[in-house]
């Protein structure tokens, strides 16, 4: 069983069992695959350099749309323009966090400095956003329904299994964020 | 400067924006049933440099009212904040201030 994260002098420390590390590695890899652009960067080298993507479209997968949301409400045109300027680099930022967290999984004991902890919190959050879409968590009642599934003995179908995974990742992120908040407090 | 100050932290700018008399644009953060309250509070503290109390107040406003205008200022600045929020996994939008809210 994983241990809750702790804030200490060397940063945030935590411990994960091999099976838990395997699970997280797989989840991170799945989301990296979702986020990797299907098309190469814009052929104009300057456009590619600044991350411009004039061919971008709104994601059709609701989970991917949750990771890369519209930035202007009720204005598709302005949102698309915003995507052209920012989506590629946002994808890269997210992939970067997921890859960094994956590398940290090489050891069963996690020792995260402030930057590594931040990357971990983002990676875990993106995992939860995607799982929540798959579990159709749309409001607090849905969240509560999923939260009720706590017994791994009950994992008999995809939904109950995903619910258990979601609850584990939620617990892990909450524990990490509490340690990070304690770190913020200690540094003031 | 404390260790919590990351490269992306934006203390000086946000303070200036909040006291600026001319506030044309705002950044709205929307509620969702997934993001942890602690995480949202952490993002508001670490990214905007808000105090624990202010971050908690904004976080509760998002939670209970469905959204909160968490920053005000120039359009380009709000757009940069929106990308940063999306990087954290929070859903944020930019809009002209004072109107639709």
B3 pLDDT more than 60: no
Confidence of residue A183 (pLDDT cuts 50, 70, 90): confident
Please indicate whether, in this complex, the C-beta atoms of B94 and A71 are within 8 angstroms of each other. yes
Q: Quick one: pLDDT at residue A98?
A: 98
Q: Quick one: pLDDT at residue B4?
A: 42
Q: Quick one: pLDDT at residue B41?
A: 97
Interface test with B, best of A34, A66, A73 (most B CBs within 10 A): A73
Rounded Cα gap, residues A173 and A179, in angstroms: 10
> Which residues in chain A have their CB less than 8 angstroms from residue B39's CB?
121, 125, 173-174, 177
Angle A33-B46-A6 from CA coordinates, rounded to 5° = 80
CATH number for the domain harbouring residue B31: 3.30.1390.10
Name, in order, each residue with C-beta under 8 angstroms of B84's C-beta and a sequence gap of 6 or more.
B8, B47
ipTM of the complex: 0.92
For B36-51, the pLDDT digits (tens) are 999 999 999 999 999 9
Does any domain span residue B43? yes
Long-range Cβ contact pairs of A1-6 (< 8 A, separation 24 or more): A2/A168, A2/A172, A4/A175, A4/A178, A4/A179, A5/A110, A5/A172, A5/A175, A5/A176, A5/A178, A5/A179, A6/A179
For A19-58, the pLDDT digits (tens) are 999 999 999 999 999 999 776 655 667 777 777 777 889 9
Angle A23-B38-A99 from CA coordinates, rounded to 5° = 35
Q: Quick one: pLDDT at residue A188?
A: 57
Task: Count up the domains in chain B and report the number.
Answer: 1
Does any domain span residue B4? no
Does any domain span residue B101? no
Greatest distance between any 2 Cα atoms in chain A = 55
Total Cβ atoms within 10 A of residue A91: 21
Confidence of residue B2 (pLDDT cuts 50, 70, 90): very low
* pLDDT (mean) for A145-157: 88
Please indicate whether, in this complex, the C-beta atoms of A122 and B89 are within 8 angstroms of each other. yes
Spell out the SS3 assignment of A39-59: CCCCCCHHHHHCCCCCCCCCC
Confidence of residue B100 (pLDDT cuts 50, 70, 90): very low
Please indicate whether, in this complex, the C-beta atoms of B91 and A69 are within 8 angstroms of each other. yes
Please indicate whether, in this complex, the C-beta atoms of A137 and B36 are within 8 angstroms of each other. no
* pLDDT (mean) for A108-136: 96
Hey, is the C-beta of A115 within 8 angstroms of any chain B C-beta? yes
User: Between residues B6 and B90, which one has the greater pLDDT?
Assistant: B90
Please indicate whether, in this complex, the C-beta atoms of A187 and B2 are within 8 angstroms of each other. yes
Residue B48's domain comprises 11-96
Mean pLDDT taken over chain A: 91
Residue A167: both structure tokens together: 């609850």
Side by side, which strands form the sheet with A3-8? A3-8, A11-15, A109-112
Residues of B with CB under 8 A from a CB of A: 2-4, 6, 28, 33-36, 38-39, 41-42, 45-46, 52, 79, 82-83, 86-89, 91-95
């Amino acid at each position: 069983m994983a241990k809750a994260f702790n804030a200490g002098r060397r940063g945030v420390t935590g411990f994960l069992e091999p099976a838990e590390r395997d699970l997280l590695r797989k989840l991170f890899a799945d989301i990296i695959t979702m986020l990797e652009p299907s098309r190469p960067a814009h052929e104009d080298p300057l456009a590619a350099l600044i991350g411009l993507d004039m061919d971008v479209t709104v994601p059709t997968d609701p989970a991917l749309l949750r990771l890369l949301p519209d930035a202007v409400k009720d204005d598709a045109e302005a949102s698309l323009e915003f995507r052209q300027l920012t989506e590629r680099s946002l994808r890269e930022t997210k992939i970067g966090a997921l890859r960094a967290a994956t590398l940290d999984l090489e050891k069963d004991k996690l020792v995260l400095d402030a930057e590594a902890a931040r990357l971990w919190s983002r990676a875990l959050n993106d995992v939860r956003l995607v799982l929540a879409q798959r579990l159709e968590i749309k409001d607090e009642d849905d969240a509560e329904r999923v939260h009720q599934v706590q017994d791994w003995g009950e994992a008999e179908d995809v939904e109950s299994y995903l619910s258990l995974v979601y609850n584990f990742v939620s617990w892990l992120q909450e524990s990490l964020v509490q340690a990070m908040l304690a770190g913020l407090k200690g540094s003031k | 400067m404390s260790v919590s100050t990351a490269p992306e932290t934006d203390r000086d700018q946000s303070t200036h924006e909040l006291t600026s008399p001319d506030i044309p644009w705002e950044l709205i953060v929307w509620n969702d049933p997934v993001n942890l309250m602690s995480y949202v509070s952490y993002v508001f503290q670490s990214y905007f440099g808000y105090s624990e109390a202010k971050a908690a107040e904004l976080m509760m406003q998002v939670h209970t009212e469905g959204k909160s205008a968490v920053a005000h200022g120039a359009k380009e600045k709000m757009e940069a904040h929106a990308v940063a929020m999306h990087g954290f996994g929070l859903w944020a939008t930019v809009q002209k201030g004072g109107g639709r809210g």
